[in-house]
């Protein structure tokens, strides 16, 4: 096997998700292992970090073993030594940046949302296809160990006929006034490409369709729980996007479900995200890593509300979590973002098929748009196939 280099520009390299998940947890380990086997060859990613802040770029480059970096995107795009462009910079400038990369003849891989609207996403897709370029979108959550177990249960037929599902997601994101916010402030400004729907619903699309099949229509309600926030520099601003969304979902297969997402809720559930599926053959509930299942035969016959025999305490000793079996690990843990990089590198370097292409990323945006429209207009919105 020969080792070949593949030049990849990482734009927005100093940002939270790029520096930590894409670089430190995915590409740096691939490099440290001597590259990625792809077809007949081993592909060694040659990385060029791109962004705005030279000090931070130099810092991140040094932390990851002395990588190349540049604050001049045009020069990076004109360098034929880097045929792949990855964007994980700010959401609001994504379309413009990807257009420049396509014009420069780069294969593109991008964080979500791939565009603010499906229409703008389709224009990017046409431009990339016209030049014969490869394309991909980050769809990492399907590779969370808990969700992989859920998918295996679906594939094994465990659920019988799937009847319903619900996803619960979120935690309290401090407003930056009472306590430091755990998320960048652009997430709470329309002009910065913020809002919970465009941030999280792209994920819910591929997670739901990847595990349970096509979505037919949705109805959403959104609101802003925390209306005043402070930015990184301390200045106050009024939040002009939603931080909470409840969504009803109808699937083509007949199942119905709900997604409850919020950055203004406190966690009292098994995990930061939980996904429960109910079927005639059994139910299962997954978190990020773990998954528990209850088969039809193990389902307790619950007679109704038990309020306890002792009128003084009203305590009951029933634990409704008993009778759920933990689904065993399928194999060693691998970072969910790394699955995407391995797939995309093999797609570019060896022509391997890659499901999470730009069309998939646009379908992700289509769900976000449908929910935004539903929330604004107060009605169900159809999700026709692209």
What is the contact surface with ligand NAD in residues (CB under 6 A)?
Answer: 12, 14-18, 51-52, 88-91, 93, 111-112, 138, 140, 184, 199
Measured from the CB atom, the residue of 125 and 273 that comes closer to ligand NAD is: 273
Taking the complex as a whole, the smallest distance from the CB of residue 242 to ligand NAD amounts, in Å, to: 15
Least gap, CB of 60 to ligand NAD (angstroms)? 9
* Smallest separation, CB 173 to ligand NAD (Å): 12
Residue (15 or 343) nearer to ligand NAD, CB: 15
- Please list, residue by residue across 30-56, b when 16 or more beta carbons sit within 10 angstroms of its beta carbon and e when fewer do: bbeeebbebeebbbbbbbbbbbeeeeb
Minimum distance from residue 199 beta carbon to ligand NAD (Å) = 6
Which residue's beta carbon is nearest to the bound ligand NAD?
15
Question: Residue holding tokens 């119905």?
Answer: 256
Q: Encoding tokens for residue 58?
A: 């130099």
Neighbours of 78 (CB within 10 A): 11
Q: What's the closest the beta carbon of residue 275 comes to ligand NAD, in angstroms?
A: 15
Structure-block tokens of residue 310: 């002792």
Is 111 in contact with 138 (CB distance < 8 Å)? yes
CB of 140 or CB of 175, closer to ligand NAD: 140
List the structure tokens of 94. 């994504």
Task: Choose between 98 and 327: whose C-beta lies nearer to ligand NAD.
Answer: 98
Select 120 or 278, whichever has its Cβ closest to ligand NAD: 120
Q: What are phi and psi of 336, to 5 degrees?
A: -60, -35
Sequence-separated contacts (24+) of 129-134 with Cβ below 8 Å: 131/102, 131/105, 133/102, 133/105, 133/106, 133/107, 133/108, 134/107, 134/108, 134/344, 134/347, 134/348, 134/354
| Least Cβ distance, residue 282 to ligand NAD (angstroms) | 29
Residue 142 or 218 with smaller CB distance to ligand NAD? 142
């Amino acid at each position: 096997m020969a080792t070949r280099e593949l030049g990849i520009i990482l734009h927005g390299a100093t940002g939270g998700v790029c520096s930590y998940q894409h670089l430190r947890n995915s590409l740096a380990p691939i490099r440290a292992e001597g590259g990625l086997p792809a077809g007949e060859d081993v592909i060694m990613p040659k990385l060029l970090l791109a962004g705005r802040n030279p000090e931070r770029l130099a810092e991140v480059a040094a932390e990851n073993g002395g990588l190349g970096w540049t604050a001049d995107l045009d020069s990076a795009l004109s360098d034929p030594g880097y045929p792949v462009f990855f964007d994980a910079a700010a959401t609001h400038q994504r379309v413009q940046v990807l257009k420049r990369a396509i014009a420069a003849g780069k294969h593109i891989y991008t964080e979500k949302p791939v565009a603010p609207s499906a229409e703008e996403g389709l224009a990017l897709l046409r431009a990339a296809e016209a030049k014969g370029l490869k394309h991909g979108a980050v769809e990492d959550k399907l590779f969370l160990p808990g969700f992989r177990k859920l998918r295996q249960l679906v594939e094994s037929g465990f659920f019988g006929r799937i009847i319903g599902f619900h996803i619960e997601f979120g935690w309290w994101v401090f407003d930056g006034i009472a306590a430091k916010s755990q998320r960048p402030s652009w997430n709470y400004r329309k002009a910065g490409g913020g809002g919970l729907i465009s941030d999280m619903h792209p994920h819910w699309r591929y997670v739901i369709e990847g595990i349970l099949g096509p979505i037919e229509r949705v109805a959403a309600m959104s609101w802003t729980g925390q209306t005043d926030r402070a930015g990184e520099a301390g200045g106050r601003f009024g939040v002009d996007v939603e931080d909470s969304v409840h969504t009803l979902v109808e699937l083509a297969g007949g199942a119905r479900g709900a997604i409850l997402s919020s950055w203004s809720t406190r966690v009292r559930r098994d995990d930061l995200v939980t996904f429960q599926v109910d079927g005639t053959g059994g139910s299962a509930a997954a978190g990020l890593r773990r998954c528990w299942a209850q088969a039809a035969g193990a389902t307790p016959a619950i007679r109704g509300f038990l309020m306890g025999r002792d009128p003084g305490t009203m305590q009951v000793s029933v634990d409704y979590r008993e009778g759920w079996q933990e689904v065993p690990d399928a194999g060693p843990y691998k970072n969910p973002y790394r699955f995407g990089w391995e797939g995309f590198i093999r797609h570019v370097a060896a022509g391997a098929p890659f499901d999470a292409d730009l069309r998939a990323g646009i379908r992700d945006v289509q769900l976000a748009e449908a929910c935004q429209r539903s929330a604004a207009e107060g009605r169900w919105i159809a999700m026709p196939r692209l």
